[in-house]
Structure 1
Amino acid sequence: MTTQPAGPSPASTDHRRSLADSGAALGPLDGRYRAAVAPLVEHLSEAALNRNRIHVEVEWFIHLAEHAVLPGLTPLTDEQKAGLRAIVTDFDADSVAELAATEKVTVHDVKAVEYFIADRLEGLGLGRLKPLVHFACTSEDINNLAYAVGVRDAVEQVWLPAARAAVATVSAMAAEAAETPMLSRTHGQPATPTTLGKEMSVFVHRLTRQTRRIAAQEYLGKINGATGTYAAHLAAAPDADWPALSRSFVEHLGLTWNPLTTQIESHDWQAELYADVARFNRILHGFCVDVWSYISIGYFAQIPVAGATGSSTMPHKVNPIRFENAEANLELSCALLDSLGATLVESRWQRDLTDSTSQRNIGVALGHSVLALTNVTKGLGQLQVADAVLAGDLDTNWEVLGEAIQTVMRAEAIAGVEGMDNPYERLKELTRGHRVDGERMREFVRGLGLSDGAQARLLELTPAGYTGVAAQLAKEFGPAQD
């Protein structure tokens, strides 16, 4: 049998316009999901990195002038400082293009930034101070601070608000369902009942602990020269207290000073941060799996979105795609964060450039997490608790009261009540492998010879009422505290 050729590849036909020329995105975060992650572009894109480099260079220029560390330096006027800082605030698409053109010549991104600033000094009456731009700096002095500013702002202004919004949504649902009884499942099997709100509150409590850790993160920075020794600084200005100037500058940027480094800031703080974000991601992943499973057994009903298609072939379906999307993006985020955390803490001797390319993926790692958070928040807004399904599940599993009965029998035996031997074994014989309804369970209780008080408590007990202090725990410890 012969087969006909499929024809030319769609990408190889000459008459088609190249998709690369159309501006099509290679990655989904810059394409399909751009709207969800766009706020991160302001902090972690290549353009944002260059703007932050300019910010660091400008502030270092001002800092050196303010402290008059070199002969001929005097503090700048307010107008000059405002003009310098406008280089940062006026950074736009034209600036990006100009930098790119300069870098084609320099073949060095930070050197292009230096020239970009120096070219603007004449217009500010600061032409004679061109040598002060990038003074005594190695590229990493600028890069580590620019990344620290960008990551800090991305976490504090984008990721944390998205995380807190998702946790707040879970918390609101937990509060609403604090007293809604639900059959638990341990190892997938019917087990001691709880409340839906309590189960959701467990995740709120866990996720809130992680957001607190992340909110308390230190963002370290250094500016100490080519090998972290201030050698060039001292050669030019031997009387200046360069470590003190370095510290005051790093802290001026709102960062924590790292006093002891090689050429590079060691990136340990990044590894700490990414481990915490990845842990948050993994907890949220577990939540998504649980919610997906609750949907699959009918505990949650999905509210159909008008006009939306649940399945391309089965009209009755509403697929839990928000939670499935979140799971996949949390996994991608964790893979990248784990890789960043593992690689960034190592550098050959004084420096290698593995961090140069890996750090450019920080925005991608956080972007997948932000996308997942957006989907979780939206997905929860499309759920409705199916109270009747939860109640029906409880009513068909009276055997879960076996735990309560055998525990009461143990207490009765300790109190001296006769006939309470082998409580676990007797309940196992009654319940294992058998469905036991309410009447059969009450008949069993009446035949045990319990004390009047113990018997009355057990006869009143139902699976829906056997939730301990679950509602109290949900209300007291479940609400998000951030």
Structure 2
Amino acid sequence: MKFSNLCSVSPLDGRYKKITQKLSKIFSEYGFIKYKLMIEIFWLKYLSNIKEIKELKKFDNNTNIILNKIINNFNLKHAYKIKKIEKITNHDVKSIVFFLKKKLSNINNSKKIIEFIHFGCTSEDINNIAYALMLKDARRYHILKHWKKIIKKMDYISLKYKNIVLLSRTHGQPATPSTMGKEIANFSYRLKRQYNQFKKIKILGKFNGTVGNYNAHVFSYPNLDWININKNFVKSLNINWNPYTTQIEPHDYISEFFSCIFRFNTILINFNRDIWGYISLNYFKYKFKNNEIGSSTMPHKINPIDFENSEGNLGISNALIQHISFKLPISRWQRDLSDSTVLRNLGSILSYSIISYHFINIGIKKIKINKNVLKKDLNNNLEILLEPIQIFMRKIGIYNSYEKVKLLFRGKKINKKKINNFINTLNISDIKKKELYNLTPFNYIGKSIFLSENIKLYKY
């Protein structure tokens, strides 16, 4: 049977391929091979510029052009050649070394150049830098862009709905009014904090040999300052240098990196559930297309499936993040291989997150506020006005105000007439009574509008 997306075991490469395919350039086997090949070439070129290594002369322009072409012209055919070599070697990095040796076998002074491929390196020097660059590119070109899009939409609807008063619910019960704009602004602010933290997380790399001590480097060229040489090489790739490692970079930064994504995702799970609840209460109408079907048997159904899909995929992503955040920083002695297979799933983790971001953006576009239902709900729960009434009573010195209001009204259905009758019994001036008469759920909203409007001041 000819392969099709329908044959994929994972929905990442099947049902959701159109959403995740951009990440495949980074996190696929092909992408991983290319990053490793790039690093081998970058290191070879870097060594050629160290004048004290007399056995490797500075590359001429022609050699540099050839090396650059190997990177720029790298394609699937080349990747398959490397995989073919790997079937024999059973070693992914060494297969790239053999591939590169063959590619350079016909250039001038090739024998000497070839011997400096992978010079002083352990495989993890190549792998950890590859993952660092992959995560750097994923953050810059994908994750932050998706996050920014979500936050921008939240800021927009926060301003759009700044005047739309809604009945708050604490413990699921009617509570002090807010505005829909302010409730969305709460999420926007939380997400902006994670966005700003995520940008600042330092991506680390190490390039110090088999157990992190530059043993082979020093033995070969004892007079060279290998610590600074390797430090500058790592920094030349626009990542941060980790000076203390075993054979592996300890992955603490990867745990930090994904823990921030975990927090961003958790906030979005909260958002999805709240919006789902507001749709259930009919506070939001959910736009639909005539040809879409909500249920195979109930023709009336319009389901908030985008928020549900988003929540589900966020959950999968976060479950995997929990594992890697605990597992990756732990390695037996100078190294074990259990991190290797886990690291190969970083793309899957990010893919599940990006699927969820895709659906949340679609969902936000589909919701439309239902003012009539919000208004009705507020007018049917006038007991929420008892809070400002008892606070006002306390302010003007009426003793035991809270207890009096509680004794009279708690557990009873309240309407405007009952509230006004109670106000009439208070021994206060007509001016003060008028203040209380004029109190409604729609003007008892504190600084909600101000807070909605000012969410745009918090930069990201």
**Residue of structure 2 in register with 1:431 after alignment:** 409
Query: What SS does the aligned partner of 1:240 have?
Result: coil
Distance 1:360 1:228 in 2: 23
Work out which of the residue numbers 417, 421, 425 in structure 2 matches 1:447: 425
2:189 matched residue in structure 1: 205
* Alpha carbons 2:5, 2:14 under 8 Å: kept: no
Counterpart residue identity of residue 253, structure 1: L
Partner of 1:56 in structure 2?
39
Counterpart amino acid of 1:423? Answer: S
Q: 1:466 to 1:23 in 2, by over 3 A?
A: closer
Which residue is 2:89 aligned to? 106
Map 1:283-322 → 2, pairs under 5 A: 283-322=267-306
- Give matches, 1:353-368, under 5 Å: 353-368=337-352
Question: Could you say which residue in structure 2 is the equivalent of 1:6?
Answer: none
Report whether the alignment pairs 1:163 with 2:156: no
State which of 386, 404, 407 in structure 1 corresponds to 2:370. Answer: 386
**Letter paired with 1:307:** N
Question: What are the residue-to-residue correspondences of 1:30-179 with 2, within 5 Å?
Answer: 30-128=13-111, 129-179=113-163
Structure 1 SS opposite 2:223: coil
* 1:475 equivalent in alignment to 2:453: yes
For the aligned residue pairs, the C-alpha RMSD in angstroms reads: 1.5
Could you say what secondary structure the match of 1:466 adopts? Answer: coil
Residue identity matched to 2:302? V
Q: What is the CA distance between 1:88 and its match in structure 2?
A: 1.7
Aligned: 1:29 with 2:12: yes
1:361, 1:390 → 2: CA distance?
A: 45
Could you tell me how far 1:306 is from its partner in structure 2?
3.6
Q: Distance in 2 between matches of 1:306 and 1:254?
A: 51
> Residue 275 in 1 paired to residue 272 in 2?
no
Q: Residue 466 in 1 paired to residue 444 in 2?
A: yes
User: Letter of the aligned partner of 1:350 in structure 2?
Assistant: Q
Q: 1:41, 1:127 → 2: CA distance?
A: 34
Letter paired with 2:272: C
Which secondary structure state, in structure 2, belongs to the residue aligned with residue 29 of structure 1? coil
Contact 1:336–1:365 under 8 Å retained in 2: yes
State the Cα distance separating 1:361 from its structure 2 match: 0.6
Distance in 2 separating the partners of 1:78 and 1:383:
59
Cα deviations by residue, 1:61-83 (Å, 9 ceiling, x for unpaired): 00000123422322222332232
CA shift for structure 1 position 21: 8.7
* Contact 1:140–1:264 (CA under 8 A) maintained in structure 2: yes
Residues 205 and 478 of structure 1 are in contact (CA less than 8 Å); yes or no, is this contact kept in structure 2? no
TM-score by length of 2: 0.97
Question: Displacement of 1:446 after TM fit?
Answer: 2.4
What is the aligned counterpart of 2:250 among 262, 266, 278? 266
Give the equivalent residue in structure 2 for 1:7. Answer: none
- The unaligned stretches of length 5 or more in structure 2 are none
Are the counterparts in 1 of residues 82 and 96 from structure 2 also a CA contact under 8 Å?
Answer: yes
Work out the CA distance in 2 between the residues paired with 1:55 and 1:22. Answer: 30
Structure 1 residue 481: deviation in Å? 2.0
Q: Distance in 1 between matches of 2:118 and 2:418?
A: 84
- Cα deviation, 1:230-252, whole Å, max 9, x if unaligned, reads 11001111111100011110001
Identity among equivalent positions (%) equals 36
- Measure how far apart 1:457 and its partner are: 1.9
SS at match of 1:184: strand
Amino acid at match of 2:342: S
- For structure 1, which runs of at least 5 residues remain unmatched after alignment? 1-16, 414-419
Q: Go from structure 1 to structure 2 and tell me whether the alpha carbon gap of 1:479 and 1:37 turns closer, same or farther (over 3 Å shift).
A: farther
* Equivalence for 2:434: 456
State the 1:20 CA deviation: 7.0
Q: How many residues align?
A: 459
**Residues 22 and 214 (structure 1), Cα distance of their counterparts in 2 relative to 1, 3 Å cut:** closer
CA distance in 2, matches of 1:196, 1:22: 41
Matched residue of 2:115: which SS? helix
TM-score (norm 1): 0.92
| 2:165 alignment partner in structure 1 | 181
| Alpha-carbon contact 1:408-1:454 (below 8 Å) kept | no
**Aligned partners of 1:409 and 1:450 also within 8 Å:** no
Q: Distance in 2 between matches of 1:75 and 1:150?
A: 29
Once the two structures are superposed, what CA deviation does each residue of 1:3-23 show, in whole Å capped at 9, x if it has no partner? xxxxxxxxxxxxxx5x87988
What's the offset of the Cα at 1:126? 4.9
Once the two structures are TM-superposed, the CA of residue 458 in structure 1 deviates from its matched residue by 1.5
1:137 corresponds to which letter in structure 2?
C
* 1:247 partner letter: K
1-structure distance, mates of 2:285, 2:4: 45
| One-letter identity of the residue aligned with 2:71 | V
Structure 2: how far apart are the matches of 1:473 and 1:69?
Answer: 63
What is the one-letter code of the residue matched to 1:472?
F
